[in-house]
Protein backbone atom coordinates (compact mmCIF):
# COMPACT_ATOMS: atom_id res chain seq x y z
CA UNK A 1 0.00 0.00 0.00
CA UNK A 2 1.33 3.43 -0.92
CA UNK A 3 1.88 5.38 2.27
CA UNK A 4 3.22 8.56 0.71
CA UNK A 5 2.41 8.97 -3.00
CA UNK A 6 3.96 12.44 -2.94
CA UNK A 7 7.33 10.79 -2.37
CA UNK A 8 6.85 8.02 -4.94
CA UNK A 9 8.72 7.89 -8.29
CA UNK A 10 5.54 9.09 -10.02
CA UNK A 11 5.70 12.34 -8.06
CA UNK A 12 7.97 15.09 -9.33
CA UNK A 13 7.56 17.72 -6.66
CA UNK A 14 7.12 18.03 -2.94
CA UNK A 15 3.95 18.95 -1.16
CA UNK A 16 3.75 22.57 -0.09
CA UNK A 17 1.47 24.07 2.57
CA UNK A 18 -0.64 25.53 -0.24
CA UNK A 19 -1.60 22.20 -1.76
CA UNK A 20 -1.43 19.76 1.17
CA UNK A 21 -4.61 18.17 2.57
CA UNK A 22 -3.67 18.84 6.16
CA UNK A 23 -6.65 20.05 8.19
CA UNK A 24 -5.96 22.15 11.28
CA UNK A 25 -5.69 20.52 14.68
CA UNK A 26 -9.13 19.84 16.08
CA UNK A 27 -10.71 19.20 12.69
CA UNK A 28 -13.23 16.35 12.61
CA UNK A 29 -11.40 15.06 9.55
CA UNK A 30 -8.61 13.74 11.79
CA UNK A 31 -11.04 11.30 13.41
CA UNK A 32 -10.22 7.77 12.30
CA UNK A 33 -13.92 6.87 12.31
CA UNK A 34 -14.65 9.54 9.68
CA UNK A 35 -14.66 7.56 6.44
CA UNK A 36 -12.81 8.82 3.37
CA UNK A 37 -13.60 7.05 0.11
CA UNK A 38 -14.08 7.33 -3.63
CA UNK A 39 -17.15 6.74 -5.78
CA UNK A 40 -18.04 5.48 -9.26
CA UNK A 41 -21.14 4.30 -11.16
CA UNK A 42 -21.62 1.22 -13.32
CA UNK A 43 -22.61 2.74 -16.67
CA UNK A 44 -19.97 5.43 -16.37
CA UNK A 45 -17.03 3.05 -15.98
CA UNK A 46 -17.83 -0.61 -16.70
CA UNK A 47 -18.25 -0.82 -20.48
CA UNK A 48 -18.83 -4.41 -21.71
CA UNK A 49 -22.44 -3.52 -22.40
CA UNK A 50 -23.19 -6.69 -24.37
CA UNK A 51 -21.04 -9.23 -22.49
CA UNK A 52 -21.99 -12.14 -20.23
CA UNK A 53 -25.72 -11.69 -20.62
CA UNK A 54 -25.99 -7.99 -19.85
CA UNK A 55 -29.18 -6.53 -21.34
CA UNK A 56 -29.56 -3.05 -22.89
CA UNK A 57 -30.26 -0.15 -20.55
CA UNK A 58 -32.00 3.16 -21.18
CA UNK A 59 -28.56 4.79 -21.34
CA UNK A 60 -27.44 2.43 -24.09
CA UNK A 61 -30.51 3.50 -26.05
CA UNK A 62 -30.25 7.20 -25.20
CA UNK A 63 -26.53 7.57 -25.92
CA UNK A 64 -26.94 5.75 -29.25
CA UNK A 65 -29.58 8.31 -30.29
CA UNK A 66 -27.98 11.06 -32.43
CA UNK A 67 -27.81 14.44 -30.72
CA UNK A 68 -28.43 13.19 -27.18
CA UNK A 69 -24.82 12.94 -25.95
CA UNK A 70 -21.94 15.29 -26.67
CA UNK A 71 -19.76 14.05 -29.55
CA UNK A 72 -21.96 10.98 -29.91
CA UNK A 73 -20.18 9.30 -27.00
CA UNK A 74 -21.61 6.16 -25.39
CA UNK A 75 -20.80 3.97 -22.41
CA UNK A 76 -20.06 0.93 -24.58
CA UNK A 77 -16.41 0.85 -23.46
CA UNK A 78 -16.15 3.67 -20.91
CA UNK A 79 -13.18 2.90 -18.60
CA UNK A 80 -13.32 -0.82 -19.42
CA UNK A 81 -13.66 -1.45 -15.68
CA UNK A 82 -15.47 -4.74 -16.31
CA UNK A 83 -12.16 -6.15 -17.54
CA UNK A 84 -9.81 -3.99 -15.46
CA UNK A 85 -11.56 -4.13 -12.10
CA UNK A 86 -8.71 -5.88 -10.29
CA UNK A 87 -6.21 -3.17 -11.25
CA UNK A 88 -8.76 -0.48 -10.39
CA UNK A 89 -9.27 -1.96 -6.91
CA UNK A 90 -5.48 -2.06 -6.48
CA UNK A 91 -5.53 1.62 -7.36
CA UNK A 92 -8.13 2.34 -4.66
CA UNK A 93 -6.01 0.44 -2.17
CA UNK A 94 -2.78 2.16 -3.20
CA UNK A 95 -4.45 5.55 -2.78
CA UNK A 96 -5.36 4.58 0.79
CA UNK A 97 -9.10 5.08 0.32
CA UNK A 98 -10.98 3.46 3.19
CA UNK A 99 -14.25 2.87 1.33
CA UNK A 100 -15.48 2.41 -2.21
CA UNK A 101 -18.93 3.40 -3.40
CA UNK A 102 -19.90 1.67 -6.65
CA UNK A 103 -23.17 0.78 -8.35
CA UNK A 104 -24.57 -2.50 -9.58
CA UNK A 105 -25.83 -2.57 -13.17
CA UNK A 106 -29.39 -3.85 -12.99
CA UNK A 107 -29.30 -5.03 -16.65
CA UNK A 108 -26.20 -7.11 -15.87
CA UNK A 109 -27.66 -9.25 -13.08
CA UNK A 110 -31.20 -10.18 -14.20
CA UNK A 111 -32.80 -11.28 -17.44
CA UNK A 112 -36.02 -9.85 -18.85
CA UNK A 113 -38.06 -12.44 -16.96
CA UNK A 114 -36.47 -11.43 -13.66
CA UNK A 115 -34.27 -14.50 -13.39
CA UNK A 116 -30.72 -14.08 -12.04
CA UNK A 117 -27.84 -13.83 -14.48
CA UNK A 118 -25.10 -15.80 -12.73
CA UNK A 119 -22.21 -14.35 -14.79
CA UNK A 120 -23.23 -10.79 -14.03
CA UNK A 121 -23.76 -11.47 -10.34
CA UNK A 122 -20.40 -13.22 -10.14
CA UNK A 123 -18.67 -10.05 -11.33
CA UNK A 124 -19.91 -8.18 -8.25
CA UNK A 125 -19.17 -11.12 -5.94
CA UNK A 126 -15.56 -11.11 -7.10
CA UNK A 127 -15.32 -7.35 -6.73
CA UNK A 128 -16.76 -7.42 -3.21
CA UNK A 129 -14.57 -10.35 -2.23
CA UNK A 130 -11.46 -8.43 -3.25
CA UNK A 131 -12.59 -5.31 -1.39
CA UNK A 132 -13.05 -7.38 1.75
CA UNK A 133 -9.58 -8.92 1.33
CA UNK A 134 -8.13 -5.42 1.15
CA UNK A 135 -10.10 -4.16 4.16
CA UNK A 136 -11.91 -1.54 2.08
CA UNK A 137 -15.53 -0.90 3.10
CA UNK A 138 -18.07 -1.45 0.32
CA UNK A 139 -21.08 0.79 -0.36
CA UNK A 140 -23.27 -0.57 -3.15
CA UNK A 141 -25.82 1.56 -5.00
CA UNK A 142 -28.59 -0.50 -6.58
CA UNK A 143 -29.81 2.09 -9.08
CA UNK A 144 -27.52 4.66 -10.66
CA UNK A 145 -29.81 5.43 -13.63
CA UNK A 146 -29.25 2.38 -15.87
CA UNK A 147 -32.82 1.05 -15.98
CA UNK A 148 -33.19 -2.09 -18.13
CA UNK A 149 -34.60 -1.00 -21.49
CA UNK A 150 -37.26 -3.72 -21.44
CA UNK A 151 -38.76 -2.07 -18.33
CA UNK A 152 -38.71 1.34 -20.02
CA UNK A 153 -40.53 -0.25 -22.96
CA UNK A 154 -43.31 -1.04 -20.48
CA UNK A 155 -43.44 2.54 -19.18
CA UNK A 156 -40.30 2.78 -17.09
CA UNK A 157 -40.71 4.78 -13.90
CA UNK A 158 -44.07 6.03 -15.13
CA UNK A 159 -45.32 2.49 -14.64
CA UNK A 160 -46.06 1.68 -10.99
CA UNK A 161 -45.04 -1.91 -11.63
CA UNK A 162 -41.40 -0.81 -12.04
CA UNK A 163 -41.28 -0.05 -8.32
CA UNK A 164 -42.13 -3.69 -7.62
CA UNK A 165 -39.60 -4.93 -10.15
CA UNK A 166 -36.99 -2.80 -8.38
CA UNK A 167 -37.94 -4.46 -5.10
CA UNK A 168 -37.45 -7.87 -6.75
CA UNK A 169 -34.00 -6.76 -7.93
CA UNK A 170 -33.08 -5.48 -4.43
CA UNK A 171 -34.26 -8.77 -2.94
CA UNK A 172 -32.12 -10.79 -5.34
CA UNK A 173 -28.96 -8.76 -4.89
CA UNK A 174 -29.18 -8.58 -1.10
CA UNK A 175 -29.60 -12.38 -0.98
CA UNK A 176 -26.70 -12.98 -3.36
CA UNK A 177 -24.33 -10.45 -1.76
CA UNK A 178 -25.34 -10.74 1.90
CA UNK A 179 -22.46 -10.19 4.29
CA UNK A 180 -20.27 -8.51 1.67
CA UNK A 181 -21.79 -5.00 1.63
CA UNK A 182 -21.28 -2.47 4.43
CA UNK A 183 -23.89 -0.03 3.16
CA UNK A 184 -26.72 -0.44 0.65
CA UNK A 185 -27.94 2.62 -1.24
CA UNK A 186 -31.23 2.02 -3.01
CA UNK A 187 -31.29 4.96 -5.44
CA UNK A 188 -28.77 7.51 -6.59
CA UNK A 189 -30.21 11.00 -7.12
CA UNK A 190 -33.87 10.24 -7.82
CA UNK A 191 -34.28 13.96 -8.61
CA UNK A 192 -32.08 13.50 -11.67
CA UNK A 193 -33.76 10.26 -12.72
CA UNK A 194 -37.19 11.89 -12.48
CA UNK A 195 -36.63 15.49 -13.54
CA UNK A 196 -33.79 15.17 -16.05
CA UNK A 197 -35.09 11.87 -17.40
CA UNK A 198 -38.82 12.54 -17.53
CA UNK A 199 -39.27 16.28 -16.93
CA UNK A 200 -36.66 18.04 -19.09
CA UNK A 201 -35.46 15.24 -21.38
CA UNK A 202 -31.78 16.01 -20.76
CA UNK A 203 -31.15 12.44 -19.56
CA UNK A 204 -32.45 8.99 -20.49
CA UNK A 205 -35.15 8.13 -21.36
CA UNK A 206 -35.46 11.67 -22.73
CA UNK A 207 -39.10 12.53 -21.96
CA UNK A 208 -40.10 16.10 -21.19
CA UNK A 209 -43.27 16.65 -19.17
CA UNK A 210 -43.30 17.89 -15.58
CA UNK A 211 -46.28 15.69 -14.82
CA UNK A 212 -44.19 12.71 -15.90
CA UNK A 213 -41.41 13.88 -13.57
CA UNK A 214 -43.56 13.97 -10.43
CA UNK A 215 -45.10 10.57 -11.16
CA UNK A 216 -41.73 9.02 -11.99
CA UNK A 217 -40.28 10.40 -8.76
CA UNK A 218 -43.15 8.91 -6.77
CA UNK A 219 -42.56 5.48 -8.26
CA UNK A 220 -38.80 5.76 -7.71
CA UNK A 221 -39.37 6.53 -4.04
CA UNK A 222 -41.97 3.80 -3.79
CA UNK A 223 -39.42 1.36 -5.20
CA UNK A 224 -36.96 2.54 -2.55
CA UNK A 225 -39.52 1.98 0.19
CA UNK A 226 -40.41 -1.48 -1.09
CA UNK A 227 -36.74 -2.45 -1.29
CA UNK A 228 -35.82 -1.50 2.28
CA UNK A 229 -37.64 -4.45 3.99
CA UNK A 230 -35.97 -6.92 1.62
CA UNK A 231 -32.54 -5.43 2.31
CA UNK A 232 -33.16 -5.58 6.06
CA UNK A 233 -34.39 -9.18 5.94
CA UNK A 234 -31.64 -10.52 3.68
CA UNK A 235 -28.61 -8.59 4.93
CA UNK A 236 -29.28 -7.46 8.50
CA UNK A 237 -25.66 -6.63 9.23
CA UNK A 238 -25.47 -3.83 6.64
CA UNK A 239 -26.65 -0.22 6.76
CA UNK A 240 -29.47 0.89 4.45
CA UNK A 241 -29.92 4.30 2.90
CA UNK A 242 -30.59 6.39 -0.18
CA UNK A 243 -28.63 9.11 -1.99
CA UNK A 244 -30.11 12.55 -2.76
CA UNK A 245 -28.48 15.30 -4.79
CA UNK A 246 -29.17 18.66 -3.19
CA UNK A 247 -28.86 22.23 -4.40
CA UNK A 248 -28.28 25.51 -2.60
CA UNK A 249 -30.45 28.34 -3.90
CA UNK A 250 -29.69 31.95 -3.00
CA UNK A 251 -31.78 35.05 -3.79
CA UNK A 252 -30.49 37.59 -6.29
CA UNK A 253 -31.74 40.40 -4.05
CA UNK A 254 -33.21 40.76 -0.55
CA UNK A 255 -36.67 41.40 -1.99
CA UNK A 256 -39.46 39.19 -0.68
CA UNK A 257 -40.13 37.90 -4.19
CA UNK A 258 -36.52 36.81 -4.73
CA UNK A 259 -36.27 35.27 -1.26
CA UNK A 260 -39.42 33.30 -2.06
CA UNK A 261 -37.90 32.26 -5.38
CA UNK A 262 -34.82 30.87 -3.62
CA UNK A 263 -37.09 29.00 -1.22
CA UNK A 264 -38.99 27.46 -4.12
CA UNK A 265 -35.73 26.46 -5.78
CA UNK A 266 -34.73 24.50 -2.68
CA UNK A 267 -38.22 23.01 -2.39
CA UNK A 268 -37.89 21.65 -5.92
CA UNK A 269 -34.32 20.41 -5.51
CA UNK A 270 -34.34 19.23 -1.89
CA UNK A 271 -37.71 19.02 -0.14
CA UNK A 272 -39.32 17.26 -3.13
CA UNK A 273 -37.11 14.28 -2.23
CA UNK A 274 -36.42 14.67 1.49
CA UNK A 275 -39.93 15.50 2.71
CA UNK A 276 -41.50 12.23 1.51
CA UNK A 277 -38.53 10.24 2.82
CA UNK A 278 -38.35 11.91 6.24
CA UNK A 279 -41.88 13.30 6.76
CA UNK A 280 -44.09 11.07 4.62
CA UNK A 281 -45.54 13.97 2.61
CA UNK A 282 -44.78 15.96 -0.51
CA UNK A 283 -44.15 19.70 0.02
CA UNK A 284 -47.23 21.60 -1.08
CA UNK A 285 -45.09 24.53 -2.22
CA UNK A 286 -43.88 22.26 -5.01
CA UNK A 287 -47.26 22.45 -6.66
CA UNK A 288 -47.17 26.24 -6.52
CA UNK A 289 -44.33 25.80 -9.02
CA UNK A 290 -46.06 23.00 -10.91
CA UNK A 291 -49.81 23.39 -10.50
CA UNK A 292 -51.73 20.28 -11.48
CA UNK A 293 -48.61 18.07 -11.42
CA UNK A 294 -49.47 16.15 -8.25
CA UNK A 295 -48.62 12.45 -8.64
CA UNK A 296 -51.12 9.67 -8.14
CA UNK A 297 -50.50 8.43 -4.60
CA UNK A 298 -52.27 5.30 -3.34
CA UNK A 299 -53.12 4.46 0.26
CA UNK A 300 -50.06 3.30 2.14
CA UNK A 301 -47.54 4.66 -0.36
CA UNK A 302 -46.18 7.42 1.85
CA UNK A 303 -45.83 5.08 4.83
CA UNK A 304 -43.79 2.75 2.61
CA UNK A 305 -41.64 5.59 1.26
CA UNK A 306 -40.87 7.00 4.70
CA UNK A 307 -39.48 3.76 6.15
CA UNK A 308 -36.66 4.58 8.61
CA UNK A 309 -33.18 5.01 7.12
CA UNK A 310 -29.85 4.08 8.66
CA UNK A 311 -28.14 6.88 6.77
CA UNK A 312 -28.74 9.51 4.11
CA UNK A 313 -26.30 10.05 1.26
CA UNK A 314 -25.88 13.65 0.15
CA UNK A 315 -24.39 14.68 -3.22
CA UNK A 316 -23.45 18.34 -3.56
CA UNK A 317 -21.71 20.27 -6.34
CA UNK A 318 -22.75 23.94 -6.62
CA UNK A 319 -25.25 26.66 -5.78
CA UNK A 320 -27.70 28.50 -7.99
CA UNK A 321 -28.48 32.21 -7.71
CA UNK A 322 -32.12 32.91 -8.59
CA UNK A 323 -34.74 35.62 -8.81
CA UNK A 324 -38.50 35.61 -9.09
CA UNK A 325 -39.91 34.98 -12.54
CA UNK A 326 -42.68 37.48 -11.76
CA UNK A 327 -45.24 34.72 -11.35
CA UNK A 328 -44.93 31.62 -9.15
CA UNK A 329 -41.44 30.41 -9.90
CA UNK A 330 -37.79 31.30 -10.28
CA UNK A 331 -35.19 31.91 -12.96
CA UNK A 332 -31.44 31.51 -12.63
CA UNK A 333 -29.29 34.65 -12.58
CA UNK A 334 -25.65 33.66 -13.12
CA UNK A 335 -23.23 35.66 -10.99
CA UNK A 336 -20.26 37.44 -12.52
CA UNK A 337 -16.74 37.11 -11.18
CA UNK A 338 -17.15 33.79 -9.40
CA UNK A 339 -14.99 30.68 -9.73
CA UNK A 340 -16.48 28.01 -11.97
CA UNK A 341 -15.59 24.47 -12.97
CA UNK A 342 -15.40 22.91 -16.44
CA UNK A 343 -19.14 22.23 -16.09
CA UNK A 344 -19.80 25.94 -15.63
CA UNK A 345 -20.87 25.31 -12.04
CA UNK A 346 -19.99 27.84 -9.37
CA UNK A 347 -17.56 26.70 -6.68
CA UNK A 348 -19.43 27.46 -3.46
CA UNK A 349 -18.35 25.34 -0.45
CA UNK A 350 -20.49 27.35 2.00
CA UNK A 351 -23.54 25.94 0.25
CA UNK A 352 -22.71 22.45 1.50
CA UNK A 353 -22.34 23.64 5.09
CA UNK A 354 -25.56 25.69 4.88
CA UNK A 355 -27.57 22.80 3.45
CA UNK A 356 -26.34 20.34 6.05
CA UNK A 357 -27.16 22.63 8.96
CA UNK A 358 -30.48 23.51 7.34
CA UNK A 359 -31.45 19.85 7.05
CA UNK A 360 -30.52 19.34 10.71
CA UNK A 361 -32.95 22.13 11.67
CA UNK A 362 -35.72 21.06 9.28
CA UNK A 363 -35.88 17.34 10.03
CA UNK A 364 -36.11 16.04 13.61
CA UNK A 365 -35.40 12.50 12.40
CA UNK A 366 -32.47 13.33 10.12
CA UNK A 367 -30.35 10.16 9.97
CA UNK A 368 -26.54 10.11 9.95
CA UNK A 369 -25.14 11.54 6.72
CA UNK A 370 -22.45 10.50 4.28
CA UNK A 371 -21.31 12.95 1.61
CA UNK A 372 -21.59 10.37 -1.16
CA UNK A 373 -20.48 12.63 -4.03
CA UNK A 374 -18.54 15.86 -4.12
CA UNK A 375 -16.02 16.89 -6.74
CA UNK A 376 -15.44 18.94 -9.87
CA UNK A 377 -14.68 18.62 -13.55
CA UNK A 378 -11.60 20.17 -15.10
CA UNK A 379 -9.86 19.83 -18.45
CA UNK A 380 -6.98 17.75 -17.09
CA UNK A 381 -4.04 16.70 -19.27
CA UNK A 382 -1.07 14.42 -18.75
CA UNK A 383 2.14 16.43 -19.09
CA UNK A 384 5.47 14.65 -18.67
CA UNK A 385 3.68 11.73 -17.05
CA UNK A 386 1.89 13.87 -14.45
CA UNK A 387 -1.49 15.49 -14.00
CA UNK A 388 -1.54 18.64 -11.89
CA UNK A 389 -5.06 19.71 -10.92
CA UNK A 390 -4.69 22.67 -8.54
CA UNK A 391 -8.30 23.81 -8.87
CA UNK A 392 -9.55 20.39 -7.76
CA UNK A 393 -7.11 20.36 -4.84
CA UNK A 394 -8.45 23.72 -3.65
CA UNK A 395 -12.05 22.59 -4.29
CA UNK A 396 -11.70 19.45 -2.20
CA UNK A 397 -9.88 21.20 0.65
CA UNK A 398 -12.58 23.87 0.91
CA UNK A 399 -15.48 21.43 0.72
CA UNK A 400 -13.92 19.15 3.34
CA UNK A 401 -13.57 22.24 5.54
CA UNK A 402 -17.29 22.95 4.98
CA UNK A 403 -18.11 19.40 6.11
CA UNK A 404 -15.98 19.91 9.20
CA UNK A 405 -17.85 23.16 9.95
CA UNK A 406 -21.18 21.35 9.67
CA UNK A 407 -20.00 18.60 12.03
CA UNK A 408 -18.90 21.21 14.56
CA UNK A 409 -22.37 22.77 14.22
CA UNK A 410 -23.91 19.48 15.30
CA UNK A 411 -24.59 17.63 12.03
CA UNK A 412 -23.84 13.91 12.20
CA UNK A 413 -21.67 13.41 9.10
CA UNK A 414 -19.91 10.04 9.06
CA UNK A 415 -17.84 10.20 5.88
CA UNK A 416 -16.99 11.70 2.50
CA UNK A 417 -16.65 10.10 -0.93
CA UNK A 418 -14.86 12.07 -3.62
CA UNK A 419 -16.47 12.05 -7.07
CA UNK A 420 -14.98 10.41 -8.86
CA UNK A 421 -12.27 7.81 -8.65
CA UNK A 422 -11.80 7.81 -12.45
CA UNK A 423 -12.46 10.15 -15.31
CA UNK A 424 -15.49 8.55 -16.95
CA UNK A 425 -18.58 8.81 -19.14
CA UNK A 426 -20.23 11.99 -17.86
CA UNK A 427 -23.75 11.22 -19.09
CA UNK A 428 -25.00 13.76 -21.66
CA UNK A 429 -21.54 15.42 -21.66
CA UNK A 430 -19.78 12.23 -22.80
CA UNK A 431 -16.04 12.05 -22.18
CA UNK A 432 -15.18 15.74 -22.39
CA UNK A 433 -15.70 16.55 -18.70
CA UNK A 434 -13.17 14.96 -16.32
CA UNK A 435 -14.26 14.50 -12.70
CA UNK A 436 -11.73 11.84 -11.68
CA UNK A 437 -8.87 12.06 -9.24
CA UNK A 438 -7.31 9.52 -11.61
CA UNK A 439 -6.89 10.46 -15.27
CA UNK A 440 -8.02 7.95 -17.90
CA UNK A 441 -6.65 7.94 -21.44
CA UNK A 442 -9.69 6.58 -23.27
CA UNK A 443 -7.61 5.40 -26.25
CA UNK A 444 -5.19 3.29 -24.21
CA UNK A 445 -7.12 2.98 -20.89
CA UNK A 446 -3.97 4.05 -19.07
CA UNK A 447 -4.64 5.39 -15.58
CA UNK A 448 -2.54 8.31 -14.27
CA UNK A 449 -2.88 9.41 -10.66
CA UNK A 450 -3.60 13.12 -10.43
CA UNK A 451 -1.93 15.37 -7.87
CA UNK A 452 -5.22 15.63 -5.94
CA UNK A 453 -5.27 11.86 -5.42
CA UNK A 454 -1.64 11.85 -4.29
CA UNK A 455 -2.39 14.45 -1.64
CA UNK A 456 -5.58 12.74 -0.45
CA UNK A 457 -3.64 9.48 -0.10
CA UNK A 458 -0.91 11.21 1.90
CA UNK A 459 -3.45 12.73 4.29
CA UNK A 460 -5.27 9.40 4.83
CA UNK A 461 -1.95 7.69 5.57
CA UNK A 462 -0.98 10.45 7.97
CA UNK A 463 -4.34 10.22 9.70
CA UNK A 464 -3.80 6.51 10.38
CA UNK A 465 -0.83 7.37 12.55
CA UNK A 466 -1.82 10.80 13.90
CA UNK A 467 -5.60 10.58 13.86
CA UNK A 468 -7.85 10.62 16.91
CA UNK A 469 -10.22 7.84 17.95
- The residues annotated with a catalytic role in the active site are 189, 373
Check if the beta carbon of residue 181 is closer than 8 Å to that of residue 235.
yes
Report the distance separating Cα 32 and Cα 459, nearest Å. 12
Report the distance separating Cα 2 and Cα 22, nearest Å. 18
Among the listed residues 125, 367, 357, the one whose alpha carbon sits nearest the alpha carbon of residue 240: 367
Residue ranges of the annotated binding site are 44, 144, 188, 317, 419, 426-427
Report the distance separating Cα 328 and Cα 330, nearest Å. 7
Check if the beta carbon of residue 47 is closer than 8 Å to that of residue 149.
no
Residue ranges of the annotated binding site for substrate are 44, 144, 188, 317, 419, 426-427
DSSP H or E stretch at residue 359: helix 349-362
DSSP conformation class of 450: B
DSSP code per residue over 362-423: H-TTPPPEEEEE----B----BTTBB--HHHHHHHHHHHHHHHHHHHTT--EEEEEEE-SB-
Instruction: Encode burial over 390-411: b for 16+ CB neighbours within 10 A, e otherwise.
Output: ebbbbbbbebbbbbbbbbeeeb
Report the distance separating Cα 386 and Cα 331, nearest Å. 41
Amino acid sequence: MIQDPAASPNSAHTTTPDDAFTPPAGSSLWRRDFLLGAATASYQIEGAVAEDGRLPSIWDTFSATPGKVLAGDTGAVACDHYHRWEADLDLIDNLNFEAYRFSIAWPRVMDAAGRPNAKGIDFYKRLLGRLKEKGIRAFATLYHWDLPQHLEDRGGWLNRDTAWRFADYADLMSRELAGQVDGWMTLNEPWCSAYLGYGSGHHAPGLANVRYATQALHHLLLGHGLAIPALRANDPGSAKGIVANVGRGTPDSPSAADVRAAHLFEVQHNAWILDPLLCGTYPQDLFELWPGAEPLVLNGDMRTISAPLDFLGINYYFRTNVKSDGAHGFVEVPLDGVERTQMGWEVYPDGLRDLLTGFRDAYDNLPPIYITENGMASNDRVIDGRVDDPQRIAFLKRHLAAVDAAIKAGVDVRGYFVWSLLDNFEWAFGYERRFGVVHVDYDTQKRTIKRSAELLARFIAERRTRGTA
